[in-house]
Amino acid sequence: MTDILDLVIEDVRWDASRLADLARQAIDLALTHAAVETHDVEVVLLACDDARIATLNSQFRGRSTATNVLSWPALDLFPDTPGDTPKTEIPADPFGATSLGDIAIAYETVVAEATAGEISLDDHILHLILHACLHLLGYDHQTDADAVVMESLEVLALASAGVASPYEGL
């Protein structure tokens, strides 16, 4: 079985974090709580800085500012109707693990958000990568109905890891 994570570290400040372990945990939480039928998948994670993610955000979303995390799904698992659950059957790749897609996470923004929210950096990293993985699995929050489905799943997955809801008080 292939490693579930292909980690590319562009910003060496990520080296001091538990990023690889947290990313693997987040991927596993997403797969388990989304009831995906296989775990023979791979996610590429780019650990970068705000400048790099701002460039990616501009290139792919038309927004020239930094953000915490971006994701690019490799599969179309999105439901046809808002509020429905995405598809859970991941097509097998005869040559190895099936790619779920790519994620980029920005160091300065993530650290600033954790500090401002008075939450542990590890908990924030876990949440953001879980959130991005759910996007790779076809979850979204573009409509209220979709947001309820996605955020409920995030809260359950995080609770199973002993992490408080990031949505309490909102």
CATH architecture of 5-160: 3-Layer(aba) Sandwich (3.40)
pLDDT tens for residues 121-135? 999 999 999 999 999
Q: CA–CA separation, 42 vs 101, rounded Å?
A: 8
In this structure, which amino acid lies at residue 94?
A: P
Q: CA–CA separation, 170 vs 167, rounded Å?
A: 6
SS3 69: strand
Q: CA–CA separation, 30 vs 77, rounded Å?
A: 14
Binned at pLDDT 50, 70 and 90, residue 169 comes out as: low
pLDDT tens for residues 57-93? 999 999 999 999 999 999 999 999 989 999 999 998 8
Domain positions in the chain:
5-160
State the pTM of this model: 0.95
Q: CA–CA separation, 164 vs 71, rounded Å?
A: 23
